[in-house]
């Protein structure tokens, strides 16, 4: 595939009528190498953040061998793209048919759960034809933890409360070859303390249940950089997690896992959109809430932007966006800073859309077509370039 230098070159050469997704394989590979080399354990890519087959191959080539999948469709997809990958089925609510297919057809051995019913389902669905139970299961009990330090909560839906965890951990220990405890601190966790606090809950769960635990899985939540959200360097997170894991009552041979989604793919994509109309400080663009800008519309997430038209030199002003569909909810408040003299027909690049952006596009209302191209330049921001000062000592108070 031809690799364009950057977004301006693409807009200049193609003057695209539809939005264009830009891929930066080098940025995703750099993120993957960083996790593969520096996380003090195993890194599972959380496929839901961006299931693009091209991206899956980039991550695999850069050293990511394990994949956190949440549906049978994700299991089949990753198995088809990466025949040798280790797949971990980490959705705590699965159908019996999905578990059985994952186990027997696709070689999945790792499953998560947060109820006795799900444990019974997994045991039944993985039993041999003669009814004998599987002896090779790695089962991770999902513990509910606080999302207080994350930008997007994941605390209310999944996870067993600490107070109820002991019987489930003991029952799971009975049938598991390897017993794990997993959790998710919420997405875009802005301080390593989120993990330290969650690990304290893990400690209490282990002590309460008096079980031997083989896997500690700290989940996702590792942050990327967005306007107004500059987290501490990822090294700080890794150091805090490492220290917290070392102090748990578990054996030296137990494993530490993490499940980064956002952090591995945020820098992979940006998007070229065209301004179709300007109304004051509102720009009508050709992608939106039903396209790659779901989070910008629904949770007010801000993404970095730049105007791709040479000669627009007006001072930066604050704009909001309307997407192309007829739905009033197709509105992105921003603010997005663009030149004061921006006008209809101008192209804009929206950055850091690799996580929960490119993956979220729908064809609602006849929009959502468009191509993807590779570009060679750097993402608008990066967790993995240059030196970022670590500040392990003050990470406990680095809440905004
Ligand atoms: C969504 C999800 C992840 C990835 O979360 P990020 O915040 O994108 O890192 C990891 N694990 C599980 C179980 C998830 O549901």
Q: Would you state the pLDDT for residue 313?
A: 81
| 35-44, 120-129, 152-161: range with lowest mean pLDDT | 152-161
Topology (CATH level 3) of domain 3-22+267-375:
Lyase, Ornithine Decarboxylase; Chain A, domain 1 (2.40.37)
**Which bin fits 99, alpha (ψ -120 to 50), beta or left (φ > 0)?**
alpha
Q: Is the pLDDT of residue 397 over 80?
A: no
| 11-20, 81-90, 191-200, 386-395: range with lowest mean pLDDT | 386-395
| 69-78, 268-277, 384-393: range with lowest mean pLDDT | 384-393
Contact 24, 269 (CB under 8 A): yes
Q: Would you state the pLDDT for residue 394?
A: 41
195 in contact with ligand 1, CB cutoff 6 A: no
186 in contact with ligand 1, CB cutoff 6 A: no
Q: Is the pLDDT of residue 395 over 70?
A: no
Number of helices (H), then strands (E), belonging to the chain: the values are 11, 19
First to last CA, the chain: 42
Which helix (H) or strand (E) element contains residue 226?
none
Q: To 5 degrees, how large is the angle CA 190–CA 376–CA 258? A: 35
Q: How far is the CA of 220 from the centre of ligand 1 (A)?
A: 4
> What residue segments make up the domains of the chain, in order of their start?
3-22+267-375, 26-265
From 177, 154, 135, select the one nearest 91 (Cα to Cα): 154
159 in contact with ligand 1, CB cutoff 6 A: no
Q: What tens digit of pLDDT does each residue of 16-47 get?
A: 999 999 999 999 999 999 999 999 999 999 99
Q: Which of 220, 299, 352 to mutate to test the pocket of ligand 1 (most atoms within 8 A of CB)?
A: 220
Contact 344, 322 (CB under 8 A): no
Q: What tens digit of pLDDT does each residue of 94-105 get?
A: 999 999 999 999
Contact 350, 311 (CB under 8 A): no
Q: List, in sequence order, every residue forming a beta bridge with 62; answer none if it has no partner.
A: none
Q: How far is the CA of 306 from the centre of ligand 1 (A)?
A: 29
Q: Would you state the pLDDT for residue 389?
A: 60
Q: To 5 degrees, how large is the angle CA 25–CA 28–CA 33? A: 120
Contact 90, 112 (CB under 8 A): yes
Query: Which residues have CB under 8 Å from 233's CB, separation 6+?
Result: 383, 388, 389, 390
Topology (CATH level 3) of domain 26-265:
TIM Barrel (3.20.20)
Counting from 1 in the atom list of ligand 1, the atom nearest the Cα of 189 is: 7
Q: What tens digit of pLDDT does each residue of 203-237 get?
A: 999 999 999 999 999 999 999 999 999 999 999 99
**What is the DSSP-derived secondary structure letter of residue 132?**
P
Which helix (H) or strand (E) element contains residue 232?
none
Quote the CA–CA distance of 385 and 400 in Å, as a whole number: 23
Q: To 5 degrees, how large is the angle CA 44–CA 47–CA 51? A: 145
262 in contact with ligand 1, CB cutoff 6 A: yes
User: What residue owns the CA closest to ligand 1's atom 5?
Assistant: 220
Quote the CA–CA distance of 275 and 17 in Å, as a whole number: 10
Quote the CA–CA distance of 38 and 397 in Å, as a whole number: 24
Q: Would you state the pLDDT for residue 398?
A: 37
Confidence of residue 387 (pLDDT cuts 50, 70, 90): low
46 in contact with ligand 1, CB cutoff 6 A: yes
90 in contact with ligand 1, CB cutoff 6 A: yes
Quote the CA–CA distance of 322 and 331 in Å, as a whole number: 5
- Structure tokens that stand for 141 in this block: 């009990």
Quote the CA–CA distance of 181 and 121 in Å, as a whole number: 18
């Amino acid at each position: 595939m031809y690799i364009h230098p950057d977004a301006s070159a693409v807009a200049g050469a193609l003057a695209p009528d539809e939005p264009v997704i830009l891929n930066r394989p080098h940025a995703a590979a750099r993120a993957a190498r960083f996790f593969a080399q520096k996380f003090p354990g195993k890194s599972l890519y959380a496929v839901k953040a961006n299931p693009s087959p091209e991206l899956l191959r980039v991550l695999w080539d850069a050293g990511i061998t394990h994949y956190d999948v949440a549906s049978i469709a994700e299991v089949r997809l990753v198995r088809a793209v990466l025949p040798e990958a280790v797949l971990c089925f980490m959705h705590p609510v699965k159908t019996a048919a999905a578990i059985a297919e994952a186990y027997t057809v696709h070689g999945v051995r790792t499953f998560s759960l947060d109820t006795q019913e799900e444990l019974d389902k997994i045991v039944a669905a993985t039993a041999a034809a003669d009814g004998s139970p599987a002896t090779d299961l790695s089962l991770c009990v999902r513990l509910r933890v606080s999302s207080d330090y994350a930008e997007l909560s994941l605390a209310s839906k999944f996870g067993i409360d600490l107070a109820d965890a002991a019987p489930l951990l003991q029952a799971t220990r009975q049938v598991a070859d390897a017993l794990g405890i997993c959790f998710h601190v919420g997405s875009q966790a802005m301080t390593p303390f989120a993990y330290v606090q969650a690990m304290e809950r893990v400690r209490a769960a282990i002590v309460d249940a008096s079980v031997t635990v083989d896997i500690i899985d700290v989940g996702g939540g590792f942050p990327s950089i967005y306007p107004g959200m500059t987290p501490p360097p990822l090294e700080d997170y890794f150091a805090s997690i490492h220290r917290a894991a070392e102090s748990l009552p578990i054996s030296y041979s137990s494993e530490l896992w993490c499940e980064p989604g956002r952090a591995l793919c945020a820098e992979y994509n940006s998007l070229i959109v065209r301004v179709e109309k300007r109304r004051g400080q509102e720009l009508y663009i050709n992608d939106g809430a039903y396209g790659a800008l779901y989070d910008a519309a629904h949770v007010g997430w801000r993404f970095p932007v730049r105007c791709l038209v040479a000669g627009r030199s007006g001072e930066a002003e604050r704009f909001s966006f309307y997407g192309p569909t007829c739905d009033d909810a197709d509105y992105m408040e921003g603010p997005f800073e663009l030149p004061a003299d921006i006008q209809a027909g101008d192209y804009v690049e929206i950055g850091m859309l690799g996580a929960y952006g490119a993956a979220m596009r729908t064809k609602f209302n006849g929009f959502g077509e468009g191509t993807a191209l590779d570009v060679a330049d750097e993402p608008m921001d990066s967790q993995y370039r240059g030196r970022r000062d670590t500040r392990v000592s003050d990470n406990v108070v680095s809440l905004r």
